Amino acid sequence: MKNQDQITVMYDAARMAERREQRRYEIARDCLSALISTGSEVDGFASPKYAPEDAVEFADALLAELERTK
């Protein structure tokens, strides 16, 4: 029975990580859309090079804040 419990815990941890990555993707996608639609402060256009990186950073920051306030 002990091995079954360990497998269940590992499976649950894997599912939680998968859900977090899915949420990260969805938040980053939405942030990227917002960055592209609003442009940047410098030239009015979001940089194709930096906008995706910024979107992921925003997603990570939001997820970290949500986890911190649980």
Per-residue pLDDT of the chain (70 residues; tens, 9 = 90+): 567 777 787 888 899 999 999 999 999 999 999 988 876 555 556 778 888 999 999 999 999 999 998 7
Give the pLDDT of residue 24.
Answer: 97
Please state the pTM of the whole predicted model: 0.74
In this structure, which long-range contacts are made by residues 20-24, counting pairs with CB atoms below 8 Å and at least 24 apart in sequence? 20/63, 23/63, 24/56, 24/59, 24/60, 24/63
